[in-house]
Amino acid sequence: MQPISGLHHITAIAGPAQENLDFYAGVLGMRLVKKSVNQDDPGTYHLFYADAEGHPGTDLTFFPWAQLAPHREGYGLSTEVSLAIRPGSLAFWSDRLKRAGVQVFEVETRFDQRVLPLADSHGLRLSLTESESSLGRPFTPWERSPIPVENQIRGLESARLVERELEPTVSFLGAGLGFRKIGEEEGWSRYGLGEGKSGQYVDLRAQPAARRGAWGTGSVHHLAWRMLDESQQMEVRQRVAQEGAQPTPVIDRFWFKSVYFREPGGVLFELATDGPGFSVDEKPATLGEALVLPPWLEAERGAIEAALPELRDASLA
Ligand code: ZN
């Protein structure tokens, strides 16, 4: 099997869409590269934030389901998304986030990296990780970002997963997806793909005494892994099925093709192709500015637009 190259995107559940946009574009300075709707629930936005070009692996996306209750912490969920920043830029970020009134926690050292944990406006746990290896990743700075180029978020660094028991997940990650163990520290086990660099690893922890976690605002919805093309996707789909997962058929998400399944501990995973990418239906210069609908929803555009709250990206003003 061709090795999987890392995270493709992470999707989470937010509260009100405007507050989500204000945080990710306004405070974190990511680019809104796609403004669409949840294809299974077209009355809800699907907002995609990434680097300027929307490179696979830089993309954090949200369903703003403001009517949902806050999530319930517990096992079977991904509990934190880590974003990569340049080494030496933590002081800038700490200062900026505090000034913006963002909830930030103590700086930690995790596996020799300096990490600033924080929570977004709807309780999603994030962290900014000073990541040397992120400097070698494809990254296009966003020239209209409020963040100076050298301090901009460079992509997804990793995610944390909490499980009732580690063994079934660990064995699935290894046999199904090709992860190997990188290390262990303070109750967390790190597993990586490839060289285990920026965007290629997850941290796992067992919390057998916890309750099962539940989706709600502020929770991660799923983690998507990069597939170079559709043939690798079919190959991995078959592999995870052999390992006991129940993958969906391939679903056309327009900017990529997707397969979904739960890992044994309950966390929802996706296999997403690198192509065709976000520029398939919008010019690179105006990504994210217009509401993009899949073709089968175009006939209902009027009703869909009328039902969605208006959004204003203050960073484009
Ligand atoms: Zn996804």
Distance (Å, whole) CA 137 – CA 158 = 14
Confidence (pLDDT) at 2: 86
The enclosing domain of 23 has a CATH number of 3.10.180.10
Q: Ligand 1 mean position to 91 CA, how many Å?
A: 32
Q: What is the mean pLDDT of the chain?
A: 96
DSSP at 70: B
Length of the chain counted residue by residue = 317
Indicate whether 315 pLDDT > 80: no
Q: Is residue 312 domain-resident?
A: no
Instruction: Give the CA diameter of the chain.
Output: 54
Neighbours of ion ligand 1 (CB under 5 A): 11, 224, 270
Query: Is residue 306 helix, strand or coil?
Result: helix
Which residue carries 């005494």 as its tokens?
209
Q: Ligand 1 mean position to 226 CA, how many Å?
A: 11
Q: Is residue 137 domain-resident?
A: yes
Confidence (pLDDT) at 293: 93
Handedness of CA 105, 71, 272, 278 (dihedral sign): negative
Closest-CA residue to 35 (of 261, 226, 311, 258): 311
Q: Is residue 72 domain-resident?
A: yes
Q: Ligand 1 mean position to 7 CA, how many Å?
A: 11
User: Which of 36-40, 81-85, 162-166, 234-238 has the weakest average pLDDT?
Assistant: 36-40
Confidence (pLDDT) at 1: 72
Q: Ligand 1 mean position to 63 CA, how many Å?
A: 10
Of all residues in the chain, the percent with pLDDT exceeding 90 is 95
Is 254 in contact with 37 (CB distance < 8 Å)?
no
Report the amino acid identity of residue 114. R
**pTM more than 0.85:** yes
Residue 220 phi/psi, 5° resolution?
A: -70, 140
Confidence (pLDDT) at 248: 98
pLDDT digits (tens, 9 = 90+) for 222-263: 999 999 999 999 999 999 999 999 999 999 998 999 999 999
Q: Is residue 303 domain-resident?
A: yes
Query: How many helices (DSSP H) and strands (DSSP E) are in the chain?
Result: 5, 17
Distance (Å, whole) CA 311 – CA 301 = 16
Distance (Å, whole) CA 51 – CA 37 = 20
Distance (Å, whole) CA 276 – CA 313 = 25
Which residue range is the domain that position 49 belongs to? Answer: 7-307
Q: Is residue 146 domain-resident?
A: yes
Q: Is residue 61 domain-resident?
A: yes
Q: Is residue 256 domain-resident?
A: yes
Q: Ligand 1 mean position to 253 CA, how many Å?
A: 9
Q: Ligand 1 mean position to 11 CA, how many Å?
A: 6
How many domains does one find in the chain?
1
Mean pLDDT of 130-138: 97
Q: How many CB atoms lie within 10 A of CB 227?
A: 28
Confidence (pLDDT) at 316: 77
pLDDT digits (tens, 9 = 90+) for 189-206: 999 999 999 999 999 999
Q: Is residue 2 domain-resident?
A: no
